[in-house]
Amino acid sequence: MVTIIGCDHMHQRKWQRCFGDERLVAFEADQKKRFYEFIFDQRRVRQATLICEEIEQGCDSFAKDLAESQGVAYANVDMPVEERQRRGIPLNYSDDGAPYAAEQIARWHSEREHFMVETVRAAQQNGRQPTLLICGRLHRERIAEILRNRGTDVQVIDLADCDSFSDKWEEDYPIDFVDGEHRP
């Protein structure tokens, strides 16, 4: 069983992204705390013995810390920069304003998603090891489809569907953030 948790990469990184407005800083800290608690609970409930995540190589992440603290295996499944370069995949190919055709972006996404699936499967001890896979929400459904086509039982969760999480921090935080609590 693989449980895919789709999120914004902001949630995964331990470093503080927002500075200046102390309400925004507190909002980010609260979101990150909620993210850690969410993946902690999901690991426990699903009895995951492997935590995988798509995050740039070398990034200090909550999922890696969780795996270490819980004594479970961890694998970063993101395609390393060197492999992207070898395959001719630009680093920021899908950023807004990137000068690439939609078809090319879709091919590069597909290449990366297949790489992620192969990396997950290689990290699993027996192919059925209970696994949490944390990835950008852009990839969650396509990765789920690839895994299902290979006979893997998959469940998908998107943090955007959970009331406690925001995927648009700069838009959501200021007016609705009161006394350490996000109020939609």
Each residue's pLDDT tens digit, 15-72:
766 666 677 778 888 888 998 999 999 999 999 999 999 998 888 899 999 999 999 9
Share above pLDDT 90 across residues of the chain, in percent, rounded to a whole number: 59
What's the pLDDT score for residue 51? Answer: 97
pLDDT higher than 60, residue 77? yes
Delimit the domains of the chain by residue range: 2-170
Average pLDDT for the chain? 86
Specify the pairing of strand 73-76 against strand 50-53: parallel
Of 96-100, 109-113, 134-138, 148-152, the range with the lowest mean pLDDT is 96-100
Residue bearing the bigger pLDDT, 177 or 149: 149
What's the pLDDT score for residue 168? Answer: 64
The dihedral sign for the CA sequence 149, 150, 154, 159? negative
Phi, then psi, of 51 in degrees rounded to 5: -120, 120
